[in-house]
Structure 1
Amino acid sequence: MKKASKSLQASQELQKQWHDQKAVLILYQRGQKVWVLEPVAPRALQDKWSGPHIIVEKKGEVTYLVDLGTARSPLRVLHVNRLKPYYDRADLTLLMATDEGQEEESDPLPDLFSSTEQDALVEGVVLAECLTAEQKDKCINLLGKFSELFSTVPATTSWCEHTIDTGDSMSVKSKIYRQPDHVRDCIKQEVQKMLELGVVEHSESPWASPVVLGPKPYSKDEKREMRFCVDYRGLNQVTKTDAHPIPRADELIDTLASAKYLSTFDLTAGYWQIKLSEDAKAKTAFSTIGGHY
């Protein structure tokens, strides 16, 4: 037994040495917000991040007393491996800079948006407090001029279309999945919405993929919204992949390190905004109990 105990201790020390080579010392301050990794009841082997919670004090070299805010156990001592920093999201602001110099003529912007019904969200844009009254008026006029950019109705572009190369493969037809009654009603509503928007149309294609519904992870309502998904695994197996390289995320972040302003675009239903070729329309057909689209 002594020999086995010594062998186990030596093995543990060796593993610790290998682990400590890449270990990073993380220190938290009193009052700092953190995420906490907690088990999901009743699944003891499944964890999730919860928070933010507040650091009360440091108990040991690698342990902290955390205020979880629960009635059962409001304070708990946790290992640093079960914590990670929480960062508050910055408020959305819109900045506008003016140049007194002569403006250069530029090519007109393409008309990427259709004249469908628009539900503008211009009123939700927050203007920075540092702007003058004149600059705010210019921003409001500019937002009103391009209010279609803030629409919740997906637009479309005519600049390109998406094609799917399956070579000489035979058409793939998968059986529809069995769905409970309340899910069937959701599927009918989603299909009807897409028909009204012109996103889908009735089809007679020999290709068919099944439909699944999954809850959206960031639904704010008590009744979680459902996401309409098509299971294209059968189509993907016969599709020739594009070898064009995708930019690396870490390299893109490095290029933004010295930037003062970052602009992002959040497209409404971005996958709907690129048209499919006639051949791709047939291959992306899906089936529900109510029909083939």
Structure 2
Amino acid sequence: MGELTQTEVYSSPPSNSPRTQQLWKSMLSWLTFFFKIIRALVHYPLLSFSSSNTSFKPLPSIELHGHLDSAAASVEITDADSDHHPSHKLMVVLDLDETLVCAYETSSLPASLRTQATEAGLNWFEFECAPSDKEGEGKPKISHVTVFERPGLKEFIRQLSEFADLVLFTAGLEGYARPLVDIIDMENRFSLRLYRPSTTTTEYREHVKDLSCISKDLCRIVIVDNNPFSFLLQPVNGIPCIPFSAGQPHDTQLLDVILPLLKQLSEQKDVRPMLYEKFHMSDWFQKQGIPASFWT
């Protein structure tokens, strides 16, 4: 829509003219559509909505794009790297909400957003879950949830399982996350599933995912999470990914960025030097006011 100059505004016909009325109707219609899209994009996925006292601040998308694009494009495996001959498979810990999927309470999901996502080819499904919240008389509260899969999700999991052991680690409640993962992982490629009770509370953040509870060998374990504070305790084992929402139907992060990087990491005897070189997460945490002594 072309911008109106100040002169055009002052010289426009009287407010009761058909032309002015048509202009105002068009502007009002455009603004209504705009605010619908904004409401849809800022609506919190179920995990964020149900996490109490959580004040996560993810990395800016622009910063993440820069890091991830360079990681996918510039990491090279040399002959020396290939000679490391890792003794066992890489272990990849995957977050759920806003990393693999985005989930909305069905009653709060704008029909226009679902229509746009469907027309763009985004896979989605609905299911019922019973989080730990109780209604009156002790009956479980049933929630109706609509889930959008990140593009390439099933192929990502399939290919990744060929060279890595997979672990699902979410801060979501088990009553919500377990039936969701049953749907996206019907072939049981995740060897372990961890939910909110397995997270740790620190003096800086809640729901931190301590990788040492999964493996004592931190040389061959990596976590992929849209929320970098999730891997606060092991910053050089983390890959911060761009958050996914239903408003991003053409996202290609899983297959085009994250999977190639994980394949390269699977050839490393120790993943931490490469991850530090690419993301400098320990430096980033220090900029957020978290001292290095916290994790060293």
- Fold in common (TM above 0.5): no
- TM-score bracket, normalised by the shorter chain, equals under 0.3
TM-score, normalised by the number of residues in structure 1: 0.17
Larger Rg belongs to: 1
Tell which has more relative contact order, 1 or 2 (C-alpha 8 A, sep 6+).
2
Greater percentage in strand: 1
